């Protein structure tokens, strides 16, 4: 039986710095797969990808700001949860923004945009990061944000 994919959000949090844009990467513990990732999370029932992106970014980092859709989604199969569809976004953080990470992560780091690509494991993460960095250079089309 074919199941509809579960919706997820992937959020690249980027802040300006004197050396150019910096990308926030979150480190997951080994029991959750390990590695460095952007903010990701499943949409709650009836929640739009945009609402999910804002909620997940705030829950996982406490960082808020203008959110732009990257008009990119990819699908994959989760061995335990079935089909997933992940929608990518850019969240523009203020210069000097620092996260307060949730217990889903064990560490974070801000990296230069040219360093971030090499630290990512998943092709869809690399592709969406490239789109986020292109979007960073444009005037934002804002979906929302909290101050």
What confidence tier does 146 reach under pLDDT thresholds 50, 70, 90? very low
Which has the closest alpha carbon to 92: 30, 11, 2?
11
Q: Residue 120: CB partners within 8 Å, gap ≥ 6?
A: 36, 37, 126, 129
CATH numeric code, 6-136: 3.90.79.10
Which has the closest alpha carbon to 74: 82, 65, 66, 83?
83
For 55-87, write each residue's pLDDT tens digit. 999 999 999 999 999 999 988 777 777 777 899
Q: To the nearest whole percent, how much of the chain has pLDDT over 90?
A: 60
């Amino acid at each position: 039986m074919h199941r509809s994919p579960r919706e997820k959000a992937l959020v690249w949090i980027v802040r300006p710095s004197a050396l150019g844009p910096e990308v926030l990467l979150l480190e997951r513990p080994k029991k959750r797969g390990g590695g460095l990732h952007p903010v990701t999370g499943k949409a709650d029932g009836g929640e739009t990808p945009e609402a999910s992106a804002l909620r997940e970014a705030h829950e996982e980092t406490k960082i808020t700001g203008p959110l732009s859709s990257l008009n990119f989604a990819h699908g994959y199969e989760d061995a335990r949860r079935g089909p997933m569809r992940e929608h990518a976004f850019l969240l523009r953080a203020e210069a000097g923004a620092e996260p307060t990470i949730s217990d889903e992560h064990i560490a974070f780091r801000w990296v230069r945009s040219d360093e971030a690509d090499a630290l990512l494991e998943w092709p869809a993460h690399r592709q969406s990061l490239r789109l986020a960095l292109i979007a960073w250079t444009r005037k934002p089309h804002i979906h929302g944000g909290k101050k």
